[in-house]
Structure 1
Amino acid sequence: MQKLVVVGQGYVGLPLSQGATHAGLQVTGLELNPAVVENLNAGISHVDDISDNELSDMIAKGYAASSDPAVIADADVVVICVPTPLGDAGSPDLGAVIGATKTIRDNLSGETLVVLESTTYPGTTEDVCLPLLTENGAKLDHDLFLAFSPERIDPGNPVYGLKNTPKIVGGMTGTSGDRAVEFYDKFIDTVVRAKGAKEAETAKLLENTYRHINIALVNEMSKFCNEMNIDLWDVIDAAKTKPFGFQAFYPGPGVGGHCIPIDPNYLSYSVRKSLGYPFRFVELAEEINNSMPRYVVDRVQEVLNKSAKALNGSKVLLLGVTYKPNIADQRHSPAVPVGEVFIERGADISFHDPKIQEWHLGEKTLQRVESLDEAIASADVVVLMQDHTGYNVDELAQASQAFFDTRGVSSNTNAVRL
């Protein structure tokens, strides 16, 4: 039985552990947080896409979590699934990747395949991971095999999960690539072989930069369409009837999650670092998308003005503060900068979200309103930030004194759409 250690048991590492466990591999989830380890071994999941029952099923099939790096010594495969946030001035923070790589280096034993899945800039596998992994004498394609395979986990996606989402694999060499493809073939339906590690690293960044730029396009269009009295939502519905050459993207209060706000910056950083000039599309998209939270507040202020109310002192109820619908994940949610601008302008903020009991907004910690009906009745304006399935948006709009819809899902005449 092949032994796998997955370093990091978050939204990427735990589903990977699940897929490999069900394929018959002996899986250990290496996690530094002892509280997370304890909960995982007790069958308590902290990841939206894996229920407690599913985690218990994994445990019954041999999965275990550990905080002891010595488990790496017995592993045939080690996969790195640690966070890669942005550091100061938008530069990549590879601290977790470097730390994980050093831990693997110090515990390597025998022939081991190491795969980096954490999103990063092109060249990281070769320039950062490989030198560290070979410091103690390990030789590439002899007792160390190295590859990059970008994670493509989409939290809350009911259609595409780990198994049926094609997996890109790029080896440091052809031999390392072969080993990595053989590994992922055990539990992924389709494995796509990239030319090398750099190509696999760049493919991930291209995917999310494409989305980032197209979201910026419609966000900018939302501003001038409002000024020109054009319904952009209707425009998009009409345009997407074309069966070729067009993909629908939608405006919103900003971009959120673990990919779009982060990944394009890695590509922009890489271009500047390697070539000395900017990736202008990315930087312009960043500027436009970052402007949306303040633009949303401006639009809400206009709605209040029409009722002869000032934003300063008004009661503003935000609906949905997670970064996408129907999950509890709040990473880089645009609700945070929107809420901060409302507070900056003197609004009295409250929130409701069926997935979140407590919301951290700057230095403030807000508790979810107890009664949604009462909160709507007392609010001067209700702002739909996230369209959770549990919300009947048109009914909520009808019950509101004023209703602003950042997601374009309402049809009630009482609602104003972004």
Structure 2
Amino acid sequence: MTSTNPLARFAARMTDRSAVIGIIGLGYVGLPLASRFSELGYPVVGLDVDAAKVAELNADGGFRRYVGLTRESVRFSAPFTATTDFSEAADCDALIICVPTPLGKYHDPDIGYILDAARSVRPHLRSGQVIALESTTYPGTTEDDMLPVLARDDLTVGEDIFVVYSPEREDPGNASFSIRQIPKVVSGVTENCLRAAEALYGGAVDTLVPVASTRVAEMTKLLENIHRAVNIGLVNEMKTLADRMGIDIFDVIRAAATKPFGFTAFYPGPGVGGHCIPVDPFYLTWKAREYGVHTRFIELAGEINRYMPEFIVEKLMDALNGERKALNGARVLVLGVAFKKNIDDMRESPSVMVIEGIAAKGGEVVYADPHVPVLTLADGSRHASCVADAGTVASMDAVVIATDHDAFDYEMIGREAKLIVDTRGRFPASLAKVTRA
């Protein structure tokens, strides 16, 4: 007999894998989640406002483009369809919102995509559905901002529908951890909502981490990313000091990392990129002002990290000066423009700021990135990736290692390049043509 209790009915459908999972937002978070549920045998409906993306995904080709996945690299034992028609939300037992949360012009949080998603599904809600938010945001978003948009007089939260928050923990390009392996923080607006969250995600991941409230879960995600931002800021500041003192910061980190307790290795680079690290700390600094708190430590880390592209351009100028050359008119090859190695994600990439900084000083700059065939700069100009072969490398006055993709031939680069500005520690600092930056 089918239970009349909406929560029990949902849990039963998750157990027998007849529940239809709706994923709202088909990007770096939503698509891997869709593939995981489909792999487990759940029918999955992907909802997105981008008609071109939806068409591409339905034709299979979009998986590689958007998340580096293909139909062959994941097991789709259940149907997956993408659509722009949000009325199909009515057929879904769970609706998981995975939309962007960018910053506004003045570093104020923009939760417009979350609220738009809530407005789009509200007319199609029915008893027994779970609405889960995974987007990174400030504490209070789920209950104070999204919940009022979802509210309907005929559906009681915690009895008829269940609203939960479970922050995504995606790490694009990291093959060491799958969705199943990463412990998942879950929370709910009510106790029944938390139970619904556990039913939704319990079969998809090995370990659930229930927390007391949606605010705790929202703050947890921010702490995780602020922890990285602050420590990256610290090691980037240490890099600039070590550079002045003639010390190789990578040697220092390797030595410090041998301590088996009390130290976690973070590595310097050209700055921070991606959606999380450059953006999420400002969600908390903005919210903190509501409580009269000035988050100076977090803001200082952001200031240091934003300075790194400028520091690299300065180091490039110094290295060229050492060869009696000016940056103005020099031919410079920037290797890697994605924000991290072996992916195509360009969001907030500091490599782009390095390219723009070199061009602003008169450098003739080109880039090579096997994952990013075309690059659009802030001025709207479009540039095509060149091939980092021996002839190209040898023809340049300097090569900047901005993102150290494994696809680059570092042995050849070390042999052919006249001058190397290395922001990632790929070459020994003892090599005469190498400048650490």
* TM-score scaled by length of structure 1: 0.97
- Alpha-carbon distance between aligned partners in 2 of 1:248 and 1:310, rounded to the nearest angstrom: 36
Pairwise CA distance, 1:48: 3.0
Q: Aligned ranges for residues 16-415 of structure 1 at < 5 Å?
A: 16-44=33-61, 45=63, 46-54=65-73, 57-58=75-76, 61-272=78-289, 274-363=290-379, 364-370=381-387, 372-411=389-428, 412-415=431-434
- Alpha-carbon distance between aligned partners in 2 of 1:127 and 1:185, rounded to the nearest angstrom: 26
- Alpha-carbon distance between aligned partners in 2 of 1:240 and 1:266, rounded to the nearest angstrom: 31
- Alpha-carbon distance between aligned partners in 1 of 2:387 and 2:148, rounded to the nearest angstrom: 54
Work out whether residues 87 and 93 of structure 1, in 8 Å CA contact, stay in contact via their aligned partners in 2. Answer: yes
Code of the residue aligned with 2:178 in structure 1: it is: G
Code of the residue aligned with 2:213 in structure 1: it is: G
Structure 1 range deviating more: 205-214 or 166-175: 166-175
What SS is found at the alignment partner of 1:65?
strand
- Alpha-carbon distance between aligned partners in 1 of 2:222 and 2:273, rounded to the nearest angstrom: 16
- CA deviation string 1:32-70 (max 9, x = no partner): 111111111111123234124346x53x62111111111
Work out whether residues 394 and 410 of structure 1, in 8 Å CA contact, stay in contact via their aligned partners in 2. Answer: no
- CA deviation string 1:331-387 (max 9, x = no partner): 111111111111111111101111121111222211112463222111111000011
- Alpha-carbon distance between aligned partners in 2 of 1:6 and 1:173, rounded to the nearest angstrom: 22
Pairwise CA distance, 1:312: 0.8
- Alpha-carbon distance between aligned partners in 2 of 1:245 and 1:137, rounded to the nearest angstrom: 54
Number of matched pairs: 415
Show the counterpart of 2:4. none
Work out whether residues 97 and 132 of structure 2, in 8 Å CA contact, stay in contact via their aligned partners in 1. Answer: yes
Pairwise CA distance, 1:86: 0.6
Work out whether residues 166 and 217 of structure 2, in 8 Å CA contact, stay in contact via their aligned partners in 1. Answer: yes
What SS is found at the alignment partner of 1:24?
coil
- CA deviation string 1:115-168 (max 9, x = no partner): 000100000001011111114542111211111000001111111021111110
- Alpha-carbon distance between aligned partners in 2 of 1:137 and 1:396, rounded to the nearest angstrom: 66
- Alpha-carbon distance between aligned partners in 2 of 1:48 and 1:398, rounded to the nearest angstrom: 34
Pairwise CA distance, 1:93: 0.7
Unaligned runs of 5+ in 2: 1-17
Pairwise CA distance, 1:324: 0.7
Work out whether residues 27 and 67 of structure 2, in 8 Å CA contact, stay in contact via their aligned partners in 1. Answer: no
What SS is found at the alignment partner of 2:124?
coil
Show the counterpart of 1:417. 436
* TM-score scaled by length of structure 2: 0.92
Q: State the identity as a percent.
A: 41
Pairwise CA distance, 1:276: 2.2
Pairwise CA distance, 1:243: 0.6
Code of the residue aligned with 2:128 in structure 1: it is: E
- Alpha-carbon distance between aligned partners in 1 of 2:195 and 2:432, rounded to the nearest angstrom: 58
Structure 1 vs Structure 2 CA RMSD: 1.3
- Alpha-carbon distance between aligned partners in 1 of 2:294 and 2:73, rounded to the nearest angstrom: 45
Structure 1 range deviating more: 19-28 or 150-159: 19-28
Work out whether residues 319 and 383 of structure 1, in 8 Å CA contact, stay in contact via their aligned partners in 2. Answer: yes
Work out whether residues 352 and 372 of structure 1, in 8 Å CA contact, stay in contact via their aligned partners in 2. Answer: no
- Alpha-carbon distance between aligned partners in 2 of 1:67 and 1:391, rounded to the nearest angstrom: 39
Pairwise CA distance, 1:21: 1.0
Work out whether residues 101 and 133 of structure 1, in 8 Å CA contact, stay in contact via their aligned partners in 2. Answer: yes
Work out whether residues 154 and 161 of structure 1, in 8 Å CA contact, stay in contact via their aligned partners in 2. Answer: no
Code of the residue aligned with 1:268 in structure 2: it is: T
- Alpha-carbon distance between aligned partners in 1 of 2:24 and 2:194, rounded to the nearest angstrom: 20
- Alpha-carbon distance between aligned partners in 1 of 2:194 and 2:111, rounded to the nearest angstrom: 23
